[in-house]
Amino acid sequence: MKNSIQLYLLCFLLFATSCKIQAQIAYEKIPSDRLEAAFESYKEPTITHRRFKHADLQPLIQKHSAAFQIEKLGESVEGKSISSMIWGKGQTKVMLWSQMHGNESTATMALFDLFNFLEASDDEHEELRKTLKSSLTLKFIPMLNPDGADAFKRRNGLDIDLNRDAISQISPEAVILKKARDDFEPEFGFNLHDQQIYYNVVNTPKQATISLLAPAYNYETEINDVRGNAMKTIAGMNDILQNLIPGQVGKYDDAFEPRAFGDNIQKWGTSTILIESGGYPGDPEKQYIRKLNFMIILNALHQIATKGYEQYTTAQYFAIPDNGFQLMDLIINEMQVNVRDKLYPLDLAIRRRESENASGYFMTGSVEDLGDMQIFYGFETLDATGLHYTEGKVYPTAFESVDKISEAEAMDLLRQGFMAVKVKNGEARQVHRLPILVLKTTEKFTGGWTTGSVPNFFLAKDGVLKYGVVNGYLIDLENPKKQEFRNRVF
Ligand SMILES: [Zn+2]
């Protein structure tokens, strides 16, 4: 009798153990070359740059109507549809939403690559896909702010920052996101953004190409299981990234913002992961960063499906270095500036910011700071020791139009000390690619070296002009390098 009880217990234990093994597929890290191969096979070919519009995405959403459950969740302020796409049959629910800031489109591109990957079948990724499908139910909301996206601006059609509208929900887009979370009750959430290209890994010259955060749910920045699981998943994502972009991953600031979605969704019980796509050298359209997004999101979904994140610790999350904001487009060191007949050696820190225009976008240079700029790093740095700040002039004879000025002519005029030319025809705000200021509605230009000034000036040595700084672009007058200018007509 005793023996048969023992046998029964043994059988029960064996049965229970095998059940557990079946319910949870063992975690094995996906090699990054496999993640990369998946991207290369399934990248959405119709998206080629970061300024795609709401209308561009609608046929791409419909393309997936067989494999995904598509639902219109509502409309933006300007009446554009916001849809969700559901895929998978698993118990663990994960929600991913992108582009609540209209001009932050990198992850949206990666989501459409991911849709192609998830919909495919019968390839070398089938096992991974099956694991995801049987363990997870994924709900995607790509482009939460279509009005902002179409204008390529951060805010929505009410000029509200949706990431400060999680509580009041003044905006229809905020109502949609909150309701989607409440209806779906996901265990994990991905809040997908872009950050300025000037973010670096703190106290290093390396751009923070990807920054990650498990947002705080209170001012004390405490850690419960919900936030802890997000941290562990991030540690696994960082593992992949450090092989691809060593030293270029930052930990985003975790100061609690009571009105933000990420912070509140964490608070409401969803393990929330923020991905911020920054800049990468030579990738202005963020196509490489799009690939990184695809790879880390796919990896994270696999970690969640297999509970692979449990192999990581919150300490590994905290070991990711903090973000800094120490990058500048141009740093000019020790330029001589004459003030009241006295020379001062000034470092100048310059950024060029994008503005949207009907014909594309243009840059506006600005002196961010000056004095001792040694804690900043420039994408480009000039040692201006012995060079003197010199003002430029306007060329007196007007040209017919921008198109009638060649780059060589513009360079010649710069060498003669002219910073600007006038044109008879054309429109203000028209984008041009010349290395000189172009004036249509004004006879004068502004420029200077103080904070907030547009950096338009020359640098001269013993009275000979050596460099032009035009709208914050540095131009070596003797040996001009090839560079792309995005200036506007004034
Ligand atoms: Zn954002």
| End-to-end Cα, the chain, rounded Å | 98
- In the reported structure, the alpha carbon of residue 279 is separated from the centroid of ligand 1 by a whole-number distance in angstroms of 14
Under 8 Å between Cβ of 423 and 439: yes
β partners of residue 389? 459
Reply yes or no on whether the pLDDT at 74 is more than 90.
yes
Query: What's the CA-to-centroid distance between 28 and ligand 1, angstroms?
Result: 32
For residue 461, what pLDDT is reported? 97
* Distance (Å, whole) CA 54 – CA 173: 14
Distance 227 CA to ligand 1 centre (A): 20
The Å distance, Cα 321 to ligand 1 centre, comes to: 20
- Cα of 41 vs its chain's centroid, Å: 23
Indicate if the alpha-carbon torsion angle 243, 246, 247, 250 is positive or negative: negative
| DSSP-derived secondary structure letter, 30 | P
Predicted confidence at residue 22, as pLDDT, reads: 45
Give the Å distance between the CA of 251 and the centre of ligand 1.
15
Q: What distance in angstroms lies between residue 43's CA and the mean position of ligand 1's atoms? A: 23
What's the 385 CA to ligand 1 centre distance in angstroms? 39
CA 461 – ligand 1 centroid, Å: 44
Cα(367) to centroid of ligand 1, in Å?
A: 24
pLDDT per residue over 432-462, tens digit each?
A: 999 999 999 999 999 999 999 999 999 999 9
The CA distance from 458 to 460, in Å, is 6
At residue 5, does pLDDT exceed 90? no
Contact 302, 128 (CB under 8 A): yes
Distance 252 CA to ligand 1 centre (A): 12
Q: What is the pLDDT of residue 18?
A: 46
The whole-number pLDDT of residue 429 equals 87
CA of 90 to the centre of ligand 1 (A): 30
Question: How close is the Cα of 420 to the center of ligand 1, in Å?
Answer: 36
In angstroms, what is the span from residue 155 Cα to ligand 1's centroid?
A: 9
Q: How far is the CA of 245 from the centre of ligand 1 (A)?
A: 22
Strands 360-371 and 377-383, bridge-based pairing = unpaired
CA nearest neighbour of 361 among 50, 47, 57: 50
Please state, in angstroms and rounded to a whole number, the distance separating the CA atoms of residues 103 and 91: 34
pLDDT of residue 25: 62
| Percent over 90 (pLDDT), the chain | 92
Closest C-alpha to 373, from 419, 326, 411: 326
Cα(15) to ligand 1 centroid in Å equals 49
- Which of 1-15, 126-140, 246-260, 321-335 shows the lowest mean pLDDT across its residues? 1-15
Q: How far apart are CA 260 and CA 268, in angstroms?
A: 12
pLDDT grade for 356, boundaries at 50, 70 and 90: confident
The model's confidence at residue 17, banded by pLDDT at 50, 70 and 90, is very low
> Nearest CA to 332 among 254, 385, 398, 395?
385
189: its two tokens: 């959430």
For the chain, the average pLDDT equals 94
Residue 346, phi then psi, degrees to nearest 5: -115, 135
Distance CA 145, CA 77 (A): 9
Three-state DSSP class for residue 287: helix
Q: Distance from the CA of 159 to the center of ligand 1, in angstroms?
A: 14
Residue found under tokens 């390529």: 152
Distance, CA of 36 to CA of 172 (rounded, Å): 37
Ligand 1: distance of its center to the CA of 27 in Å? 32
CA of 54 to the centre of ligand 1 (A): 17
The residue with greater pLDDT, 10 or 359, is 359
Confidence band, pLDDT 50/70/90 cuts, at residue 16:
very low
pLDDT of residue 99: 98
- Residue 193 CA to ligand 1 centre (angstroms): 4
Ligand 1 midpoint to CA 199 (Å): 13
- Residue 234 pLDDT > 80: yes
What's the rounded mean pLDDT across residues 280-286?
A: 95
Is residue 53 a contact partner of residue 118, using CB atoms and an 8 Å limit? no
- Mean pLDDT value of segment 297-310: 98
Helix (H) or strand (E) holding 232: helix 225-244
What is the band of 49 on the pLDDT scale with cuts at 50, 70, 90?
A: very high
Amino acid 1: pLDDT: 46
In this prediction, residue 360 carries a pLDDT of 81
Q: How far is the CA of 274 from the centre of ligand 1 (A)?
A: 10
Q: How far is the CA of 476 from the centre of ligand 1 (A)?
A: 36
pLDDT at 211: 98
Q: How far is the CA of 277 from the centre of ligand 1 (A)?
A: 9
The per-residue pLDDT for 357 is 84
Question: Measuring CA to CA, how many Å separate 78 from each of 147, 156, 160, 360?
Answer: 6, 9, 13, 22
Q: What is the DSSP letter of 102?
A: T
C-alpha 278 to ligand 1 mean position (Å):
11
Is the predicted pLDDT of residue 157 greater than 80, yes or no?
yes
Does the pLDDT value for residue 14 go beyond 60?
no
Q: How far is the CA of 195 from the centre of ligand 1 (A)?
A: 6
Residue 8 predicted with pLDDT over 80: no
Q: How far is the CA of 209 from the centre of ligand 1 (A)?
A: 14
Vertex 326 angle, CA 323 and 259, to 5°: 50
Cα 104 to ligand 1 centroid, rounded to whole Å: 6
> How much distance in Å is there from the Cα of 74 to the middle of ligand 1?
21
Predicted local confidence at residue 21, as pLDDT: 45
The arithmetic mean of pLDDT across residues 225-250, rounded, is: 98
Closest Cα to residue 413, out of 358, 343, 468? 468
pLDDT, tens only, 85-122: 999 999 999 999 999 999 999 999 999 999 999 999 99
CA of 460 to the centre of ligand 1 (A): 42
Q: State the CB neighbour count (10 A cutoff) for residue 136.
A: 22
What distance lies between CA 224 and its chain's CA centroid? Answer: 28
